[in-house]
Amino acid sequence: MRTTLFFLLAASALAQTPRPGVNFNEAKVGNDPLPDLKLMSAADWPQKRRPEILKLFEDHVYGKTPSDVGTPKFEVTATKTDALGGLATRKFIHISLPNHPAWAGMDVMLYTPNAVKNAPCFVGFSFGGNHAVSTETDVPLSTRWMRESKDKNIVDHHATEATRGTESSRWPLEMILKRGFAVATAYYGDIEPDHADGWKEGLRAAVSKDGANTVWKDGEWGAIGAWSWGLSRIADYLQTDALIDGKHLAVIGHSRLGKTSLWAGAQDERFGIVISNDSGEGGAALMRRDFGETTAIITKSFPHWFTPNYKNYAGNAAACPVDMHMLIALAAPRPIYIASAAEDHWADQKGEFLSGKYASPVYALFGKKGVVVDEQPAIDTPVGDFIGYHIRTGKHDVTDYDWTQYLTFAARHWAK
């Protein structure tokens, strides 16, 4: 089985499009030692070590999320009780900050299964807006700034009618709802448009005393911090909705939003399950491994995602006081799932697995098993207990296969 995985990954790696200065050779990843988790008792970990690690990520990677931006306001703007052919109830909820009217707020789309009274809920952001997640034609079209995309029919940085349903394969609503789970999504650009100056039109400028003239300092939040803040505000609302089991919320994200879900889950323990789908560098992948995207690449391409001093570790990851096994460990003892894709070498699939493996000793403190295995499993062979992991056939994406594992994982843990 392990031999089969090796040859499949090796063959796929050879097919990887060459990028100057980017390593896809496992023999050249480096061997810098990981920062020590400094294990202690299960009683002491939540009170002592966990806060220390959380602060290190605030100071060196994502920045500190402000806690004094005011109380959010929730307004249910529409309800449809026979959505998706009667399978679900669909609501739209506008979340705003009355103390900061410069922020336009975000629009949450919530589907709850009509067959379940208090449904557990998956919470995550979409890349294309609510209208891209759902195939229902009465979902309002987002008017916010979006990344230009011919494939997704985004023209002049705005959605068009042709963008409807373009992310529906990543959000198999009927599959999720028929398993008894609810789904809450919003467009991540409602929080902050995803470009270098997007913050000037988003949440961060709106809540900063200097507005669009803010000069961000080391340790202050970047876009990932802002997006994760938004996920927690969705959780705030879900705690008030009688159709939702607010004690069973799973935060989920893909790619840069997988990084966001990990950081949201680290900060907000109301997310009882944390799911990272192909989150790669700056997410689940170990930053000390020189494979695929690196800290140097990501901080040059997307500096706005992180706190400013994260760029100091470009080409010098060994100097960073944290690595991503510590981010995974921040979820303990809650269940967490890490997923990779066989063709997604840019995200360093092995580095994603190793973060779960090296976080497992923290779960052992609580008498819980982590990924269980020592070696990365074969393709399409899920492993793990409280740290789930799989590498599936295919490329950087979210598929029905991924969702099947997440639904099974959630049902298993929430049934205990």
CB 279 within 8 A of CB 258: yes
Decide if pLDDT at 9 tops 50. Answer: no
pLDDT tier for residue 10 given thresholds of 50, 70 and 90: very low
CA distances from 278 to 120, 260, 402 (A): 23, 12, 10
Q: What is the pLDDT of residue 152?
A: 87
Q: What is the pLDDT of residue 17?
A: 55
Q: What is the pLDDT of residue 21?
A: 83
> Percent of the chain at pLDDT above 90?
93
Average pLDDT over residues 147-158: 91
Structure confidence by residue, pLDDT tens digits, 288-343: 999 999 999 999 999 999 999 999 999 999 999 999 999 999 999 999 999 999 99
The gap between the terminal CA atoms of the chain, to the nearest Å, is 31
CA distances from 216 to 301, 306, 310 (A): 17, 10, 12
| More confident of the two residues 405 and 19 | 405
* Pairing between β-strand 244-254 and β-strand 119-126 as defined by DSSP bridges: parallel
Residue in 113, 110, 117 with CA at minimum distance from that of residue 88: 113
**Where along the chain do its domains lie?**
1-13+21-68+279-396, 70-252
Residue in 276, 372, 364 with CA at minimum distance from that of residue 327: 276
Residue 264 CB: number of other CB atoms within 10 A? 30
Residue in 342, 359, 195 with CA at minimum distance from that of residue 265: 359
Taking the C-alpha atoms of residue 184 and residue 92, their distance in angstroms, rounded to an integer, is 10
pLDDT tier for residue 416 given thresholds of 50, 70 and 90: low
Q: What is the pLDDT of residue 20?
A: 74
Structure confidence by residue, pLDDT tens digits, 356-383: 999 999 999 999 999 999 999 999 999 9
Q: What is the pLDDT of residue 414?
A: 97
Structure confidence by residue, pLDDT tens digits, 56-73: 999 999 999 999 999 999
Taking the C-alpha atoms of residue 350 and residue 371, their distance in angstroms, rounded to an integer, is 13
Decide if pLDDT at 171 tops 50. Answer: yes
Taking the C-alpha atoms of residue 253 and residue 261, their distance in angstroms, rounded to an integer, is 5
Active site residues: 255, 396
Q: What's the mean pLDDT when you consider all of the chain?
A: 95
Average pLDDT over residues 44-50: 98
